[in-house]
Amino acid sequence: MASEIKITFLGTSASIPSSKRNHTGILITYKSENILVDCGEGIQRQFRRARLNPGNLSKILITHWHGDHVFGLPGLFQTLALNEYNKNMQIFGPGNTKYFMKNFIHTFIPVFKFEADVKELNKKGIFFENDDFYLESFEVKHGGFPTNAYNFVLKDRRRIDKKKLKKFGLPEGKHLADLRKGKNIIYEGKKYLAKDLTYVEKGKKISIVLDTVYFEKLKDFVKGADLFICESSFGDDLKDMAKEHGHLTSGQAGMIAKKAKAKKLILTHISQRYEPKLKELEGYAKKYFKEVSVAKDLDKIVIK
């Protein structure tokens, strides 16, 4: 069975939270990995409401150090320290991340010991990789404030076709290891070809683009995404204001999704201005791209 990727929207508000929407936080769960993209104020309680345990976190990716994306960090660190968190927490963020992390820890948590491995990502590219997936960052344009977008990419995997094993009369076991690598094997003097017994399961790509203005290269980073999560602080009715504040409109999010040939677009970072007219906000994106919806807090998406 294919492994699932789960996405949980812990917070979906723009810069000011509302009674319906918490500050930003997106959790990606795959096998034992729990990767939190941004940690807005109140994220700890959102974990509780979603019946998830922040103690399972393995990585935090910070898009940028504006308050609505990071004010949840000190509280989260304090709780993790109190609960004797003992995993190796890795924190990734843009070029000013070490400075802000040091000051955050210093200001808020002098008593509790919490250590994390902090890495600054200064250029586009892969910054974490294992056998299953890789993580990729890309610098976006948010009013000159260092800001990253992120991709989670599950790699293509070669799988053994069990029906064909049976057909060829080949038992399961360690002798099949090379087949998984795409190599032919010899078993009990007989040769078996990888191409006859295996198939390639296509990987998955999840792109997360939060605060940024529109620019052409965004589509390249998002290219072919199975799920594209994108900020849309404004609708196309306030296009100039969006640009002035360093943000995207929902129409621009739709345009990126279309150009990138994404499969699905979810709009987040929603301003309370649009709460009474979410259909309108969605509609601007729909002009360009049909498969679109607006995220709600605690929404869960499973990518198989």
Q: Would you please indicate which residues are annotated as catalytic (active-site) residues?
A: 68
- Nearer Cβ to Zn ion (15/198): 15
Residues 113 to 172 in contact with Zn ion, rule: CB under 5 A: none
Q: Do residues 62 and 97 make contact, with C-beta atoms less than 8 angstroms apart?
A: yes
What is the size of the binding site for Zn ion (CB under 5 A)? Answer: 3
Q: Please choose, out of 66-74, 85-93, 220-228, 294-302, the segment that lies near Zn ion by the rule CB under 5 A.
A: 66-74
Which listed residue (21, 59, 66, 205) binds Zn ion by CB under 5 A?
A: 66
The CB-of-272 to Zn ion minimum distance in angstroms stands at: 13
Q: Tell me if 41 contacts Zn ion by CB under 5 A.
A: no
- Of the two residues 209 and 255, which places its CB atom closer to Zn ion in the complex? 209
Q: Give residues 217-246 in contact with Zn ion (rule: CB under 5 A).
A: none
| Shortest Å, Cβ 119 to Zn ion | 21
* Cβ atoms of residues 83 and 55 within 8 Å: yes
CB of 269 to Zn ion, least distance (A): 6
Of the listed pieces 68-76, 167-175, 213-221, 249-257, which binds Zn ion according to CB under 5 A? Answer: 68-76
Compare residues 17 and 226 and give the one whose CB is closer to Zn ion. 17
Among 38, 211, 226, 282, binds Zn ion (CB under 5 A): 211
Kindly tell me which of 211 and 297 has the beta carbon lying closer to Zn ion.
211
* Minimal distance, residue 203 CB to Zn ion, in Å: 29
Q: Are 69 and 63 in contact (CB under 8 A)?
A: yes
- Residue 233 Cβ vs Zn ion, minimum distance, rounded to whole Å: 7
* Max CA pair span of the chain: 72
Order of strands, sheet of 5-11, starting from the edge strand that comes earlier in the sequence: 117-120, 90-93, 59-61, 33-37, 25-30, 5-11, 300-303
Residue 202, token pair as written in the block: 């296509």
Report helix, strand or coil for 294: strand
Alpha-carbon gap, residue 300 to 304, rounded angstroms: 13
Q: Which stretch binds Zn ion (CB under 5 A): 27-35, 41-49, 63-71, 273-281?
A: 63-71
Evaluate whether 96 touches 75 at the Cβ level (below 8 Å). no
Is position 23 an interface residue for Zn ion (rule: CB under 5 A)? no
> Alpha-carbon distance 39 to 19, whole Å?
18
Helices and strands counted in the chain (H then E): 11, 18
Q: Is 16 exposed, middle or buried (0-12, 13-18, 19+ CB in 10 A)?
A: exposed
Q: Which stretch binds Zn ion (CB under 5 A): 53-61, 150-158, 179-187, 204-212?
A: 204-212
Q: Residue 189, Cβ neighbours under 10 Å: how many?
A: 5
Is residue 68 involved in binding Zn ion (CB under 5 A)? yes
Cβ atoms < 10 Å from Cβ of 245: 16
Residues near Zn ion, by CB under 5 A? 66, 68, 211
